[in-house]
Amino acid sequence: MIRNTERRPRAPGELGIRIVILVLAALLLMALQLTGRLQSLRSAISFVTAPAQLGATGFTRTITDAIDFVRDLGVLRQRVNELEQINAGLRAENFSLREVERENERMRRILAFAQTRPGLELRGAQIIARVIAQESTNFLNYIEIDLGANHNIAVGMPVVTEQGLVGRISEVNNVTSKVLLITDPSSAVNAILQSSRLNGIIQGTPKGDLVMDFIPQGPVFSVGEVVLTSGMGVRFPRGIPIGQVVERRQRDIDIFQQAVVRPIIDFSSLELVAIVTNFDPQEEVPALSETPTPDPASVITGTTAVTATNGITATAPVTTNP
């Protein structure tokens, strides 16, 4: 069945009725307004429609807050990334400043050492050289520094730090040089025991240790004595610390006795060294302000190891020298 959708024309009577209803509604509203009852009607209507209005308002506010949160979240992420980059830059700058401070402190210590030894000729910034390479093999034990022939560096010049003797220049190129360390087996340094005043020669070993050989037989020296350069042979300035005796080796059948010496310098951590370009062999050497402490693991407290003629190791009292 097909529905007829055509609208019928309204009769004049229906239109009149609608007009009358509208007029009556207007008069009713005016009467309610004049009598004050319209406010009660408004309150009733608001009470009925308030939940729907509040729900619509809350929903709209939730949507707005969600949009604002998403936008703020993007801004916060960008700000966090910026702060992380700033923090990384500040940390890098802090590390750099710390390294500069450490380097300045090392330079100050070396320069302070130079002031205590006026007989050593030092040539400005050429004295302090940065180690740019380090190698150690069974045949050679040396470091490479960033000063060479262009800086008037020559073979044989002693190399020191504020702590003690490092070695000597063994090879020179235009802008770099090799320093043969005193721990190398081919190295030999005339040395003297500070307290007993016994002379000998410090030599390196393949293991990187130091042995003081050719000490005259008979006189007794003690574990803990400081070993200094003697200045004999005029190859090294005298009075430069080398190390400390940690063991005494003596056999009656030998012409000389030996001392095992712990180096005063940690060669594995060298960064700055000073080159002595010239020195006064007759320079008055200042007394050491501090005596290095021997390694407890390598020294028997109160005794010193002595190897007797029959090869049996015995112990002898140690005389502590002030």
Sign of the dihedral defined by the CA atoms of residues 243, 247, 249, 255, in that order: positive
Asked if residue 310 has pLDDT above 60, the reply is: no
pLDDT, greater one: 181 or 133? 181
Q: What is the pLDDT of residue 79?
A: 84
What are the b/e assignments for 39-72, b being 16+ CB within 10 Å? eeeeeeeeeeeeeeeeeeeeeeeeeeeeeeeeee
Asked if residue 214 has pLDDT above 70, the reply is: yes
* pLDDT tens-digit readout, 29-72: 666 666 666 566 666 666 665 565 555 566 667 777 777 777 77
Instruction: Identify whether the C-beta of residue 209 lies closer than 8 Å to the C-beta of residue 241.
Output: no
What are the b/e assignments for 73-107, b being 16+ CB within 10 Å? eeeeeeeeeeeeeeeeeeeeeeeeeeeeeeeeeee
Domain 121-281+295-317 indexed as CATH 3.40.640.10: no
Average pLDDT over residues 161-168: 91
Q: What is the pLDDT of residue 140?
A: 63
* Predicted confidence band of residue 160 (pLDDT cuts 50, 70, 90): very high
Q: What is the pLDDT of residue 293?
A: 44
pLDDT, greater one: 84 or 64? 84
Of 96-105, 249-258, 274-283, 288-297, least confident by mean pLDDT is: 288-297
Q: Domain limits of the chain?
A: 57-116, 121-281+295-317
Question: In the chain, pLDDT over 70 holds for what percent of residues?
Answer: 67
Half-sphere exposure of 300 (CA within 13 A, CB side): 12
Of 44-48, 86-90, 191-195, 277-281, least confident by mean pLDDT is: 44-48
Asked if residue 203 has pLDDT above 70, the reply is: yes
Instruction: Identify whether the C-beta of residue 201 lies closer than 8 Å to the C-beta of residue 191.
Output: yes
* Predicted confidence band of residue 302 (pLDDT cuts 50, 70, 90): very low
Asked if residue 124 has pLDDT above 90, the reply is: no
pLDDT, greater one: 125 or 48? 48
Strands (E), 69-187: 120-121, 128-136, 141-145, 158-160, 165-172, 177-181
pLDDT, greater one: 35 or 146? 146
Q: What is the pLDDT of residue 49?
A: 59
Query: Considering the chain, what is the average pLDDT of its residues?
Result: 75
Distances from the Cα of 264 to the Cαs of 44, 243, 275, in angstroms? 99, 4, 18
pLDDT, greater one: 44 or 156? 156
Q: What is the pLDDT of residue 191?
A: 95
